[in-house]
Amino acid sequence: MSSDETTAGQPPRWVLLGSAAFALAALIAAAVFGIQWWVSASDDNAALASAREDVVRVGGAAVKAYTEVDFENMDAFFARQKEVSDPKMRDQLTSLEPTYRKSLDTAKTKVKTTIQDIAVEELNDHEGKANFLAAITTDLTQGAQHSTKSLRLEVQMSRIDENGGQVWKLSGIGDVPLVAAGQ
């Protein structure tokens, strides 16, 4: 009787050996990919990616807090700004608030912001510092006048202790100057 013949209803020997080889290959592949997943999950890259996502999420909220305004609800506007700011920025806001409040109210200013994109330029997780660029579109209404502007902002974030935890706060914001070609 040859090795390819079946005996009493059993499959050929090569089918059993092939199935065992495939099962062994699947077990080895699962072990290799499982180890790679475990190593990458415990790697510093995962923590850095998580910190980057936090900067984008918190930074987006901070950009909106600083750029969206409704002259009919100035208390909420300044409260949002102070909530997302580090202590130094809060102090600056407090000193400038009366001037801003008066000019925004006089102009009957309302701004609605849409964040187009955020790109983290620099992230130093150990020092708790981050910089990012934000591309935004603002719909500005002042009295009866309406306009739409596209802006690029450079934003600095700092991680500070707050209520027993580490949180990202806005520590600087400004326009990115446009540079003409050839300059």
Question: CA of 12: how far to CAs of 1, 22, 23, 26, 134, in Å?
Answer: 12, 16, 17, 22, 66
Q: Which pLDDT score, from 0 to 100, does residue 44 have?
A: 62
Of the candidates 90, 159, 101, which has an alpha carbon nearest to the alpha carbon of residue 130? 159
- Integer-rounded Cα Rg, in Å, for the chain is 29
Q: Which pLDDT score, from 0 to 100, does residue 97 have?
A: 95
For the chain, the 3-state helix, strand and coil shares in percent, each to the nearest 5, are 50, 35, 20
Q: Which pLDDT score, from 0 to 100, does residue 21 have?
A: 86
- Give the tens place of pLDDT for each residue, 104-160: 999 999 999 999 999 999 999 889 999 999 999 999 999 899 999 999 999 999 999
pTM exceeding the 0.75 threshold for the entire prediction:
no
Sequence-distant (≥ 6) Cβ neighbours of residue 134 within 8 angstroms? 59, 60, 63, 115, 117, 118, 152, 153, 155
- Give the tens place of pLDDT for each residue, 17-63: 888 888 888 889 888 888 887 766 666 677 778 889 999 999 999 99
Distance CA 104, CA 84 (A): 20
pLDDT of 171 > 90? The answer is yes
Mean per-residue pLDDT of the chain: 88
Distance CA 172, CA 61 (A): 14
Distance CA 78, CA 97 (A): 8
Task: Write down the domain spans for the chain.
Answer: 48-175
Per CATH, the architecture of 48-175 is what?
Roll (3.10)
Distance CA 142, CA 111 (A): 9
